[in-house]
Structure formats: C-alpha cells, structure tokens
Structure 1
Amino acid sequence: MATKTFDASKLQAFGNAAAGHDGVLSDETGAVVVKPCTEAEITFYESVTVSHPDLVPYLPTYMGQLSLSANESAVPAVESGTIQTADGTVERLHGKKLATELHIVLENITHGFKKPNVLDLKLGAQLWDDAAKPEKRARLDAVSNVTTSGSLGFRIAGMRTYKGTPVPDIPEELKEFVEVDKEGGYWVYNKMYGRKFSATDVTEGFDTYVFPGSKTEAEHDRAREVLAYFLGEVKDILEVFEGKESRMYSASILLVYEGDVEEYAKTKQTLRSAQPEEDDDDDNLPQLAAVKMIDFAHATWTPGQGPDENALKGIRSTAKILKELLDKAQD
C-alpha cells in the first residue's frame, strides 16, 4: 500500500465545496479532501472497497481516515492511520477552529479543473436516519415538506458558478441567496437558494448552473456536452444503486464541470490528441466534467429490505430533468 505523508500544519480550508458543513480541509496539492466524519461513513467506504466494487467508480476514492490529535505535526497516513498536530487544532472555514476529531480522507473531485462549476443535490424526501431525535426529525421533515425534497426526492443544496473577473453584480432578487467570491470569480449560491424552488420551476436552478454566462455558442455547446455526460453518469448511478440494499439518508450527487470556457476548449483538444496508449492512465488526463455520489455519514447496508427508494426517487428525478434540459439544448 502506498504511504502518503500529510503535514497537518499545512492543511487549509477547502474552497470549492458547494454545500455541507464547515471544517472541510484540503492538503497543499488540492488533490484530497479531509473532512470531519462519523464512524458510519468510514465503515460505509471501507465496505464499498471490500464488498461493493461496482460502486467504486461512482464515489470519491477513499484514502483512509485521520485522527487529528496533539502529539506530532506530521506522520505517514495510510488506511486506518493517524495524523497528529502540534496543538490539536487546524483552521476551518470562516476562521473558526476545528476541535480534534475523526476525519476521512477522500479524492477531491474538483481537483484538476481550473474553475470548477459545482452543483450539490441532496437526495431523499426523508433526510434523517433512525438515530435522529424527534426534534431533528420534525425540523428536517418541515424542510422536506416545503421544498423539492418532498416532491422530487432531491433539492439543490448548494452551487458555485464561475462568472469571470471582474465578477458581475448580483441582481437584487438574488442577493439573499448568492455571495460573491471576488478572488475566485464565482457566484456562490447558499442552501436557501435551492429551498425556494418547487417541482415546477426547479429546472431554472439547473439552467443557471449549466448556463452561468451569456449563452454564447461556446457556452451552448459546452452545456449540451456536459448535460449528455451528466445524464449518462446519473443513469449509471441509478442502475447500480437499484441493485443495492442500503439506506443513504442525506447523501448527495455532486456534479462538476470546467467553468472556464477557454480552458474547457483547451481540455477538449488535449483529450482529442491523447494517444490510445496513453488513455490507459486516465489519472493523468484532464477532465471536462465529473459526477459522484458523496456524503455517507448516515449510510448503512440493509440486507433484506430492498433498494433505497428514498434516494432513488431523487436520482430518477435528476435524470428526468437532465434529459429535459439536454433535449432543449439539442433543439
């Protein structure tokens, strides 16, 4: 097994997350994500590797777990290894400190993109697992009932779209939903953005994601291509999870594509010119887009209970919307 050394003093806040909890970190290279996790999430990833290899292409690569504690600044990290920091703390998002706790190390899905556009779709009408307290169940049920979580089995949990620099001003009607990342050139859509949609208008959110600019010919071509790719991947994810007996409360589908139009065209040319013998090593090739299932803090295998229809409903709804947008883009 390859050994990788992490210097915890150089872990930094992860800036490409579209949704989720604070405290997500990355190493200097940006190739990995280090995030607080539950034992259940580690167990789920380890079981996928051992018992469900057909799921591996649709999840971030699992690289092991880390325990941030207070003895050393850097140690080799392997599966089930540890990492210690000098003071037991590291920076988290928004400048707060993250207390010592268990972390999972995963492939950074946005690594290798120059300006990744990211869409996080939280799956399920029921968002809580059996361990949730009554007040949490009631709170999450209330959210589900008034959003597309209840009607479609998913909702937009967050989104980042590259707008270029200088970043255009946010329209008045979006100011409560969007923040500007001036340095990165992004509009960052918060969790309330997805909550405002109903089943009849949620396509607007997807349209905003795949057409973040002025709908030039290049952007239209890119949208058509990434929609076709997204649809194919989501259908594959649907097929493989239809054959699994699991429950994945609050899992997400993460969609990513290259947000810089010029970089997108450059990457296409690179992929076209790649020699066949080089194609065997896909890790060295740039990407135009990616789709992965993420967030398994509340995931378990449930033999004898059948497929996870709660999550599958959201995946099917996502595929339907992507198909509608692709048909429209091909007209």
Structure 2
Amino acid sequence: MAKKPFDASTLQAFGNAAAGHDGVLSDSSGAVVVKPCTPAEIAFYESITTSHKELAPHLPTYMGQLSLSSGSIPEDESAESGTIQTATGVERLHGRKLATELHIVLENITHGFKKPNVLDLKLGAQLWDDAAKPEKRARLDEVSNATTSGSLGFRIAGMRTWKGVDAPEVEGELKEFAEKNGEGGFWVYNKMYGRKFSAEDVNEGFEAYVYPQGKEQAQLERAREVLAFFLGEVKDIQSVFERKESRMYSASILLVYEGDLDEYANTKKTLASYRPSVEDEDEDEDLPKLAAVKMIDFAHATWQPGNGPDENAIRGMRSTAKILKDLLDQTEKQLGSD
C-alpha cells in the first residue's frame, strides 16, 4: 500500500474498531486509519522497516505520521479540544478529548470486508510498562488478577459481530456488555464483556465470535476455514516473536473475518479466479478479504536486546492458539458427524 499525504478535511470517525482509544479516524476510502499515538509507537513501527522486516507481514502497513494541529480545528465556538473538522462535519471524536496532536497513519485491517467481524485480544498478564506510576500499576494488576489476563496471558478487550438486520435485540445478561449499533445488524461488545470470563469459560467468548448466527452447516464450514487460518497466523506471530527480544505491554492480536455469509461465499469465488497482473502491482489492494490477523497497539513497545523473548506477551499467544485449536477440532468433529 503506497504512502500518500492526507488532508484532515477528508477524515471521518472510524466505526469498525472493537476496542482501543476513542478518536480514531479514517480517510474517505476507508483504506487507512489515523489514530492518536505516542512517539514510542511511531519509533516501533519505523524500526520494523529498518531492522525487523520479518515482522512486517504481521502488522498493519505503516504509512507515516500526521499532526492534527489546531490548524485542523475550526476557529468557532464549537472548536474546543476534542473536536476536528472532518468530511462529515465537526466530529467530537466519540466524546474523548484529544490528548496529543501526534497521529499515526496505518492500513485499515477491516478494509476489504463487507461486514467485518472483529475480535481484539489484549496480550499479557503484566499490562503496564516501567514508566507507569504505582497507582496505575496497582489498577492494572487488579484487572489482570481478576480476568484471563492473569490466568491465560490475554483477555478479550472488545468484539464486534454481524448478526444480520433481522437479529433480535440484545437480551439477558448480555445487555450489560453488548448493544446493537446504528446499522442494526452488528452487535458491539464492550471491554467489560471480556472481563467476565475465566480460564474455564473464555472459549464461550470465542464461540460467540465465530458463530454469531448459530451453527448451521454454512456457519460451521466458514468457522472451520476461519479458525484454521487464525490458528496458522497466530502460530506464525508467536514463532517470529519467540526469536525477538522485545517488550510489548497492552499490545493486541486483532482477528477479522467476513461476517456476511453470502459475501464470504462470493469472496471465495473471486479469490479462486483471481490472476495477478504484472502491470498493476496495486491491484490486489482492492480485492475482498475472507480473514485477517494482525498485531496492533504498540504504544508501550520497545526492543530490549539481551533480555530474551517477551514471555509476557507470548504466553497469551500460546493460550490463544490452544483455544483456536480446540474450537477447530470441535468444529471439524461436528461437521464430520452431520
């Protein structure tokens, strides 16, 4: 994906995030996301292109940085901190005030999907870096100890699934954790959803993600393909980070797949018949996608030569791979019995 300049007036609020900070924007094409960041995150991405190129396939494509300064904000009564003039008007950035002018420009992982189902898995039992104040360490340790962050090395940080426009309203205990979005077909699960699980039942969260519309034949077949892909990608990410000496606190693995069953089937046919053109190297950027797995969120990531692999994050990758493998085995067993 080629780097190109961005005009703040073409940006709009980004709606496909499953978790993370507010204030994330996207360009009019939807191909990129622009999010507030720290200098450390930019340094980490830039180090990938210079010293750790084998990691590049497992991260969103980095396209540079952007400063959304006060010049991007209208000079009128509505132009308070936390607003920006975008293509659709003055955006409040989901109600959160801008904490920084510095933004990172990245590939939008959900671009190319019609109805992207998104699962954000926050890695690590330790969620704070060395710069964190004691009160922050204590607060995050409390979260870790009470959730699967402590027991498995990861937790579900957010989830977004397509159930269809005719899906019923959120009911029962899920009302506390999920809501239907404006389109009516997506269920969006908040960060407290993942905190309710223990090591013994967290697979239920994965099942809700992989089987949002039930376990009919078509859903099972899609789940088998998606789970096999996810498992291979997570193992690849684990393998490459086992050979690196890094520390990543509160980084995530993002899983995405096509939530519309008809579109999933159509995309399979499109990809099966696709023949790349030598003349147009960027042609594949416009292809639809079936599934994607990327590592994201490196605000607290550093390279630490001599300190060995990041077992804090890698433990969460191993736990994720095990759950995906168990679900894949269950799915194949059920398909075999039908």
Task: State how far apart, in whole Å, the 2-side matches of 1:321 and 1:97 are.
Answer: 37
Task: State how far apart, in whole Å, the 2-side matches of 1:101 and 1:6 are.
Answer: 15
> What secondary structure does 1:282 align onto?
helix
Contact 2:3 2:63 (8 Å CA) reproduced: no
Q: Residue in 1 aligned with 2:226?
A: 226
Q: Residue in 2 aligned with 1:323?
A: 325
Task: State how far apart, in whole Å, the 2-side matches of 1:272 and 1:329 are.
Answer: 24
* Cα offset, 1:15, TM superposition: 0.3
> What secondary structure does 1:141 align onto?
helix
Equivalent pairs: percent with the same residue? 76
Q: Which runs of 5+ in 2 are unaligned?
A: 85-90, 334-338
Contact 2:268 2:290 (8 Å CA) reproduced: yes
* Cα offset, 1:320, TM superposition: 0.4
Contact 1:11 1:28 (8 Å CA) reproduced: yes
Q: Residue in 1 aligned with 2:300?
A: 298
Matches within 5 A, 1:116-155: 116-155=116-155
Task: State how far apart, in whole Å, the 1-side matches of 2:2 and 2:212 are.
Answer: 40
Q: Residue in 2 aligned with 1:75?
A: none
* Cα offset, 1:70, TM superposition: 3.2
Q: Residue in 1 aligned with 2:158?
A: 158
Comparing 105-114 and 6-15, the one that deviates more: 6-15
Matches within 5 A, 1:113-262: 113-183=113-183, 185-262=185-262
Q: Residue in 1 aligned with 2:288?
A: 286
Contact 1:166 1:182 (8 Å CA) reproduced: no
1:280-314 Cα shifts (integer Å, max 9, x gaps): 75323221000000000000000000000000000
How has the CA–CA distance of structure 1 residues 310 and 92 changed in structure 2, closer, same or farther, with 3 Å as cutoff? farther
Q: CA RMSD in A?
A: 1.8
> What secondary structure does 1:19 align onto?
coil
Comparing 172-181 and 57-66, the one that deviates more: 172-181
Task: State how far apart, in whole Å, the 2-side matches of 1:123 and 1:92 are.
Answer: 29
1:179-219 Cα shifts (integer Å, max 9, x gaps): 11141510000000000000010000000000000222111
Task: State how far apart, in whole Å, the 2-side matches of 1:211 and 1:244 are.
Answer: 34
Q: Residue in 2 aligned with 1:270?
A: 270
The one-letter code sitting in structure 2 at the alignment partner of 1:126 is Q
Q: Residue in 2 aligned with 1:76?
A: none
> What secondary structure does 1:6 align onto?
coil
Contact 1:68 1:101 (8 Å CA) reproduced: yes
1:116-142 Cα shifts (integer Å, max 9, x gaps): 000000000000000000000000000
How has the CA–CA distance of structure 1 residues 228 and 307 changed in structure 2, closer, same or farther, with 3 Å as cutoff? same
Contact 1:12 1:92 (8 Å CA) reproduced: no
Comparing 209-218 and 306-315, the one that deviates more: 209-218
* Cα offset, 1:85, TM superposition: 5.0
Q: Residue in 1 aligned with 2:5?
A: 5
Contact 2:151 2:199 (8 Å CA) reproduced: yes
Task: State how far apart, in whole Å, the 1-side matches of 2:35 and 2:182 are.
Answer: 25
The one-letter code sitting in structure 1 at the alignment partner of 2:170 is I
Comparing 123-132 and 95-104, the one that deviates more: 95-104
Task: State how far apart, in whole Å, the 2-side matches of 1:2 and 1:282 are.
Answer: 12
The one-letter code sitting in structure 1 at the alignment partner of 2:307 is Q
Contact 1:231 1:319 (8 Å CA) reproduced: yes
1:158-187 Cα shifts (integer Å, max 9, x gaps): 000001113421121110000111415100
Task: State how far apart, in whole Å, the 2-side matches of 1:317 and 1:217 are.
Answer: 28
TM-score, with structure 2 as normaliser = 0.90
> What secondary structure does 1:132 align onto?
coil
Q: Residue in 1 aligned with 2:64?
A: 64
Task: State how far apart, in whole Å, the 2-side matches of 1:154 and 1:316 are.
Answer: 10
* Cα offset, 1:2, TM superposition: 5.7
TM-score, with structure 1 as normaliser = 0.92
1:86-135 Cα shifts (integer Å, max 9, x gaps): 55841244355536510000000000100000000000000000000000
Contact 1:8 1:85 (8 Å CA) reproduced: no
1:19-77 Cα shifts (integer Å, max 9, x gaps): 01111111111100000000000000000111000000000000000111134xxxxxx
> What secondary structure does 2:176 align onto?
coil
How has the CA–CA distance of structure 1 residues 150 and 99 changed in structure 2, closer, same or farther, with 3 Å as cutoff? closer
- How many matched pairs? 319
